[in-house]
Chain A
Amino acid sequence: MTSATRPASSLIEVSGLSASYGRVAALKPVDLRVEEGEFVTILGPNGAGKTTLLRAISRLIGSSGQVRFKGDDITALPAHRLAKLGIIMVQEGRGLFGEMTVHENLLLGAYGLGGDRAAIERRFEEVFRLFPRLRERASQVAASMSGGEQQMLAVGRALMAGPKLLMLDEPSLGLAPKVAAGILDTLGELNRKGLGILLVEQKAPLALRLARRVYVLASGTVRAELPAHEISSHHDLARYYFH
């Protein structure tokens, strides 16, 4: 079926995705979807399988099940091909190249643009508008920056890739509340411009401020899928965690 005749599809749709580390099943068959321009959050306690889920979607670990992107089956594609489609992940711990400068890290984000300097320059300007601090730190080695600056760089680098779906694994980890809120606000701004976001977060109040829908993950399974406002007002997350 060609894209012209295909019915409207989710941005990403995951069906029966499971993954394991050795004999330990970290992710039991999980179904999940993110629509175009939607902000979806995955909440869950430690060890719920949230990171594993994002890694499995990104093909950074082996998994079984099906992943469709804009209706196309991308299950068999390697990780680097997914990035070229616009599926970009900001890893837990930021995953920066610490010995490289901010400038070099951002250039690596724009790897898919090849030698198109004009397009790279435009992306730089977009990222520097969102994170002016990165412009000031351009020649600084990434590892020497503060946690907040590193997280800005991690998000900025992902944006350099021109993502269609941005997946973030606990971007608030280890950050001061004000800094974390600032990063999340930026994500909200990007989402309002149409960027699909799949956010894994433990700090529920932060994530629920922005998300439209929430998946509650515990013990490798989806315990609940519901609108974000319902959780913030009526539900006790712990009830799902220990269900």
Chain B
Amino acid sequence: MTLRDITSTRLGRYGLVPVAGAIFIALLFAFVFIKGGYLLTVMQLAMIYGVFCVGLNFFMGYTGQASFGQNAFAALGGYGSAILCVQFGWEPIAALVASMAIAGIASVIVGYPTLRLRGHYLAMATFALGLITYDISVQWQSVTQGYMGYSGIPPLGVGPFTVEDERAKLVCLMVILLVGVWISGRLRNSRFGRALRAISTSELGAAALGISISRYKLAAFVIAALYASAAGSLFAHVVGFISPEVFGLQMVVVTFTMLYVGGVGTVLGPAVGAIIASLLPEIVRSTGRFQDIAYALALILMLIYVPKGLSGLANAGKKRAGEEG
């Protein structure tokens, strides 16, 4: 048996649960696309949060580190796009790319000293990073316009071609999310991704095999920052308005929920979690004044019965299919 043979057997076969899950998500997407209106906006935001979570998954899922401060890089992306487009008349795409570059550089500068910390200390340090960025976005009014934020941010587009139709925006965001997920999947199963996952299991074990722990942690942190920045920029261009609140503490809580509902450390989990956790409040809205309780209850039940996230459910189904086969 050659290496290629082994790789091909590794693919296994698809189980019923993942296929059913994919059909469900596709139908959900089609329903929202046809129905339009408010749900369209909810799904657009789900796609943007999905991009953020796919990035966060590199650091928290694959590498097993804690970061409560990725919203800082989303803010860099959002404000970068807003300032470059509104103040300097840049093309949205150019502003998005430039903001990602800035966020990448910032993440290296911040990550290099911060990632020497571990566990709770790392979590606290990254949390402080988010808080500091929030304060800067409020206080540095000459640049960020404080609580007023930025409005009139142009939609995504290249030259005269702009994506202004809400349905077109959704399709555009879905394509971007799928590309993000594809990159994530490719990297997860690469030499780089295996090294990250090894670090997540045992840092000493990974180091003993020649993996530079600090370098890989930093790389995962930078990738997460790039995704976060892209998500921040997308928010700015899709919604057309940003303020400090957009990238505040709530973003941290919401994205953590999405990551764990979908399945931390899985390829599809962050995207699935972003969609389900975004639509869940709309589903429980019918419970009226009990909607917050219903939302919390649904999340608790999910975490109890599907502790590895909805993607974990799909994997369990796939394993069962493999055993039967």
Contact = CB atoms under 8 A, between A and B. Distances in A.
A95 B205 contact: yes
Interface in B139-192: 191
B191 A115 contact: yes
A58 B210 contact: no
B205 A138 contact: no
B208 A139 contact: no
Given A80-B211, A111-B195, A91 B10 contact: no
B9 A108 contact: no
A78 B195 contact: no
A80 B212 contact: yes
A121 B205 contact: no
A216 interface: no
B46 interface: no
Interface in B184-214: 191, 194-195, 197-198, 201-202, 204-213
Contacts of B7: 103
Contact of B194 (A108, A120, A139): A108
Given A138-B6, A138-B9, A100 B194 contact: yes
Interface residues of B, number: 25
A43 interface: no
A161 B2 CA distance: 19
B6 A120 contact: no
B201 A109 contact: no
Contacts of A112: 209-210
Interface residues of A, number: 37
B3 interface: yes
Most B CB contacts (10 A, CB to CB) among A78, A84, A88, A107 go to A107
B1 interface: yes
22 contacts: A60-B204, A60-B207, A60-B208, A78-B207, A80-B207, A80-B209, A80-B210, A83-B209, A88-B209, A91-B205, A96-B205, A97-B197, A99-B201, A103-B7, A104-B194, A108-B198, A108-B209, A112-B209, A121-B3, A138-B1, A138-B9, A157-B209
Given A78-B207, A97-B202, 15 more contacts: A80-B212, A83-B207, A83-B208, A88-B208, A95-B202, A96-B205, A98-B201, A100-B194, A104-B194, A109-B209, A111-B211, A112-B210, A117-B3, A124-B6, A135-B6
